[in-house]
Amino acid sequence: MAVAFTFPGQGSQSVGMGKDLADAFPEARRVFEEVDAALGEKLSKLIWEGPEETLTLTANAQPALMAVSLAALRALESRGFSLKDKVSYVAGHSLGEYSALAAAGFVSVADAARLLRIRGNAMQAAVPAGEGAMAAIIGLEQADVEAACAEAGQGSVCQIANDNGGGQLVISGARAAVELAAKLCTEKGAKRALMLQVSAPFHSAMMMPAADVMRDALAGVAKAAPVVPIVSNVTVTPTSDPDEIARHLVEQVVARVRWRETVEWFGQNGIATLYEVGAGKVLSGLARRINRDIATGGIGTAVEVETALAALV
């Protein structure tokens, strides 16, 4: 049965993630060493020891989550697993696209770490603190959320940033507009409208300065066709073309993460099992709410590596 690998995004991080992988598999430990060397600092110490508030900073969380995902993959590969032979597609949620692409050989692990550090810093710097906001809207139809954003925007940025499925949409943009849109969504019948504790209005047009930074950064790294096609956040279509992938990574900074559609696409194109490679179980939970016919599994700990190997190799 066809398998796809998915890679988690920001919010899945936790202090201590990946430590048992590094202890159990030398190949996994080398990923953390490679990331430390690429960044010129001991990110691995922060990942394993904290403090949590420092790990959660965008510029740290993004390369940290990628490191854990790639450590899990290297652990699999050390035991005979081949991504090219066993997996039909890869996909990642926001920063997870970089993890997916490093896994598939589009960029090196070291370049992925540097790109994600640049991305995190650029996203943080794109909008002055306090000017942007994000809110989660639960239990309201997409058309109603879009209407609320349009009504609240009125010349300000206010848009859907994440379509996560299971009745969960995230909106992003100028603080006053997002706060008003959240209120309007409640009036339209949303079960909940929650302002999120985030540092910037991610995946909105306010991130355009960060998109410009990433265009330049991606132009400066070596790229290769991935050994497995990636299903893009931006287009929800598979591609292996390096130039197209780079364009999508730039567009992704300001565009909606279309995760519900991605999982639906997998179901429509023969994928029977989705493995979440890396920290946490966020994507697995979303997948179960979107399509219960697709089986899910996690590959983020040494035990989960062994379990996955039994099914995949």
Residue type, 122: A
Structure confidence by residue, pLDDT tens digits, 3-44? 999 999 999 999 999 999 999 999 999 999 999 999 999 999
Q: What does residue 14 show for φ and ψ, rounded to 5 degrees? A: -155, 145
pTM: predicted TM-score of the whole model, two decimal places: 0.96
Distance, in Å, from the CA atom of 185 to the CA atom of 214, rounded to the nearest integer, reads 33
What's the confidence (pLDDT) of residue 193?
97
Please write the tens of the pLDDT for every residue from 150-207. Answer: 999 999 999 999 999 989 999 999 999 999 999 999 999 999 999 998 889 999 999 9
**Strand 132-138 relative to strand 158-165, pairing:** unpaired
How far apart are the C-alpha atoms of 192 and 138, rounded to whole Å? 5
Give CA–CA dist 154/271, Å, rounded. 41
The residue from 12, 44, 69, 94 that is catalytic is 94
The contacts found for 37-42 with CB under 8 angstroms, 24 or more apart, are 37/110, 38/109, 38/110, 38/111, 38/113, 38/114, 39/63, 39/113, 39/114, 39/117
The active-site residue out of 69, 203, 204, 232 is 203
Is 204 labeled as catalytic in the residue annotation? no
Q: Residue 274 has what DSSP assignment? A: E
94 catalytic per annotation: yes
